[in-house]
Amino acid sequence: MTNVMMNAPSSGSPSLVALRGVGKAFPNGTLALNGLNLDVRRGEFLSLLGPSGCGKSTALRIIAGLSEPTRGGVEWAAVSAHTRTGDIGFVFQEPTLMPWTTVFNNVRLPLKLSGVAADKARQRVNAALERVGLHNFSTVYPRELSGGMRMRVSIARALVTEPELLLMDEPFAALDEITRFKLNDDLLTMWQSLGTTVVFVTHSVFESVYLSSRIAVMAARPGRIFTELAIDAPYPRGGDFRTSTEYAALCRRTSEALGGAMAAGAEP
Amino acid sequence: MSAQASARERGERVLRVALPVIVFAIVIAIWAAAVWFWQIKPYVLPTPSLVAHTLVADWPLLSRSLLITLITTVEGFVLAALGGFILAVLFDLSRYVEYSLYPYAVILQVTPVIAIAPLLLVYLAQPTAVLVCAWIVAFFPVLANTTLGLRSVDRNLADLFALYGASPARVMWDLKLPAALPHVLGGLRIAGGLSLVGAVAAEIAAGSGGAGSGLAFRIMEAQYRLNIPRMFAALLLLCVAGLVIFYLLALVNYLALRRWHESALDGER
C-alpha cells in the first residue's frame, strides 16, 4: 500500500483520505474492486450507495486499513497520516459488542487498547454514553439491551476516541424503521457537534439522501464509483426534510443514478 | 408474566425433581421385591437395604478408598485442565507447535486408557500411574474445546482490535480468552467426569497387585471375595462422586456465564 502525503486538494474542501485507482482481487479470483477513485473530504458526510456485492464494504475496509488493496493506494492528508490508531472509528453492520462485559467496558475498549489510563478513560466513556443517551446503562450487559440500543453502544464506542474519520458499514440495516429514523437523526447531531468526517455504506437510497452531504454511487462487477451526487440541502435536517418535495426530488435523482449503476454492473 | 404461567413454571420445577425421585423409588422397590420373590442369595444380588447397611458398616474402609480415588481424580483433573488449556493456547500462538503435537494428542485420546494402564504400571509407581491415566483421558476435551473456543472469535471484533493496534497478548487476553470461556468450561465439564473414569480404569488395571486402595480397587477386591454388597456400596459411592463433580462444574459454568452467555441464561428473556 502506498501512503503518499497529499499537497494540494484538487477541489472543494481538502481531502482527508483518497482512494487512487484501487483494485482488490480476492485469492479465489473474484475482482471486488477495480479502478476505484474516491476522495473523502474533511468534515463531509459521504455515503457509498450501491447494490449488494458492489464492493462498498471492501472499499470501507481498505480505508480502515483492515484490508490491503491489490492495486492502487490509499492517500492520507499529511496532518492525519501520522495518527492512524484511534483516529478511525468503525461501526459494523452488527453491533459487534463483547457479550462478556458491560456496556461501559465495551465503550472503553478503544481507549484501553490505546493505553489510556482508567481514570481518564472513565470521563470520556461517560461522555460518549451520554452522547448516545445511554449514560444510565453503563453497568448493563449487551444482551440485556434492544437491537437499537446495542447499535448506540457500538456508535459510542466508535466515537469515544473522537476520531477524525468515522466509517460505518450499513449500521442500521438490521433495525426497524422507527429505530432507524431516530438513529439517523442522532447520528447527524453527533456528526455536526463533533465535526467528524463520516463515510457511510448503505444500500438505501432514502437513508443516503437523508444523511449525506455527498453520495458516491457504486456499480458492481467490478466495484467502482459510477457517479457522485452532491446533496446540498442544509443541515440540520429533520422530519420536515424527510417529507419535503426537495427530498423526494433528490431521492428520485439518486434512484435514477443507482438504476444506471445497476444497469452498468449487471451480469453480462 | 401472568400468575398462571408462573404457577405452571413452578409446577414444572417441582416435577423436575419429583419425577426422577419417583423413578428411583420404583426401581428400588422392584429390586427389593425381586430379591424377596425369587429368594435371590445376597452373594448374587443383595437387597437395597443390605447395600445401605454395608455402606454404613464398611464406611471406615470405603471412605478411605473414596478419598484416595477422589484425590487422584482431582489431581488428574487439575493437571488435565492446565495441560489442555496451556497446550491449546500454544497451538493458537504457533501453528507449528500445533502441527507438531496435535497428532500425538489425538493418539493419546483414541487409544483406550484401559489398554495403556498396564504398561504405565510397569514403569510407574501405582499412584503415579493412576494419576497419569486420569490425566490422559481428561486433557483432550479441554484441549479440543479450548482450541475451538479460541478460534470462534467474532471476526468483526478481531478486526476492531486490529484497527486499534492491539498487541497479540492483548488480543489473547481481552478477546480470545473471554470468547473461548464457554467452550473451555464445556471442556472442563467433560474432563471432570473423564478424570474419574481414568482413575478408576487405572485402579482396575492395577488390580490386586496395587498397593493403593481406591474405590475401584475395593470393587475388584470385593469381587474376588464374593462380597457383592460391598461392590454395590463402592459403586454407589463412585456414582455419587461422579454426580458431585458434574454438578460442581455445572455450577461453576453457570456462575461464570449467567450474565452473558446463551447457554447459562435464565428462562425469561
Q: How confident is the model at residue B210 (pLDDT cuts 50, 70, 90)?
A: low
CB B164 to CB A65 under 8 A?
no
Grid cell at residue B156 = 468483526
Q: How confident is the model at residue A83 (pLDDT cuts 50, 70, 90)?
A: low
CB A86 to CB B162 under 8 A?
no
pLDDT of residue A109: 95
Task: Give the least confident one: A74-88, A227-241, B253-267.
Answer: A74-88
Q: Which of A124, A145, A163 is the last residue of a domain?
A: A163
One domain, residues A239 and A132 = no
One domain, residues A54 and A76 = yes
Among left, alpha and beta (phi > 0; psi -120 to 50; other), residue B116 is alpha
Question: Does the residue A88 lie in any domain?
Answer: no
Q: Looking at residues A103-130, what average pLDDT do you find?
A: 93
To the nearest whole angstrom, how far is the Cα of B123 from the nearest Cα of chain A?
Answer: 46
Q: Across the interface, which of A88, A98, A112 has its CB nearest the CB of B157? A: A98
Q: How confident is the model at residue A264 (pLDDT cuts 50, 70, 90)?
A: confident
Q: Looking at residues B37-60, what average pLDDT do you find?
A: 93
Question: Does the residue A200 lie in any domain?
Answer: yes
Q: Looking at residues B101-123, what average pLDDT do you find?
A: 88
pTM score, whole prediction = 0.84
Residue A38 near residue A216, CB atoms below 8 Å = yes
One domain, residues A118 and A235 = no
The overall average pLDDT reported for chain B is 89
Q: Does A255 contact B at CB distance below 8 Å?
A: no
Q: Across the interface, which of B162, B164, B170 has its CB nearest the CB of A110? A: B164
Question: Does the residue A89 lie in any domain?
Answer: no
CB A66 to CB B154 under 8 A?
no
Grid cell at residue B180 = 473461548
Which residues in chain B are closer than 8 Å to A160, comparing Cβ atoms?
none
CB A142 to CB B260 under 8 A?
yes
Q: What is the pLDDT of residues B219-264, one digit of tens each?
A: 988 988 999 999 999 999 999 999 999 999 999 999 999 888 877 7
Task: DSSP for A9-43, please give it.
Answer: -SSSSPEEEEEEEEEEE-TTS-EEEEEEEEEEETT
Q: How confident is the model at residue B113 (pLDDT cuts 50, 70, 90)?
A: confident
Q: What is the pLDDT of residues A153-200, one digit of tens each?
A: 999 999 999 999 999 999 999 899 999 999 999 999 999 999 899 999
Mutation site for A-interface testing, chosen from B183, B260, B265 by largest number of A Cβ within 10 Å:
B260
- Supply the CATH number for residue A220's domain: 3.40.50.300
> Domain range spanning residue A214?
5-83+165-264
Q: How confident is the model at residue A265 (pLDDT cuts 50, 70, 90)?
A: confident
CB A113 to CB B181 under 8 A?
no
Q: How many other C-beta atoms lie within 10 A of the C-beta of residue B209?
A: 9
Q: What percent of chain B has pLDDT over 70?
A: 95
Q: Which of A119, A141, A163 is the last residue of a domain?
A: A163
One domain, residues A184 and A221 = yes
pLDDT of residue A7: 39
CB B260 to CB A86 under 8 A?
no
One domain, residues A172 and A240 = yes
Question: Does the residue A90 lie in any domain?
Answer: no
How many domains are there within chain A?
Answer: 2
One domain, residues A63 and A110 = no
- Partnered with residue B80 across adjacent β-strands are none
Question: Does the residue A191 lie in any domain?
Answer: yes
ipTM score assigned to the predicted complex: 0.88
Q: Does A142 contact B at CB distance below 8 Å?
A: yes
One domain, residues A133 and A62 = no
One domain, residues A12 and A63 = yes
Q: What is the pLDDT of residues B177-202, one digit of tens each?
A: 999 999 999 999 999 999 999 889 88
pLDDT of A39 over the 90 cut: yes
pLDDT of B85 over the 80 cut: yes
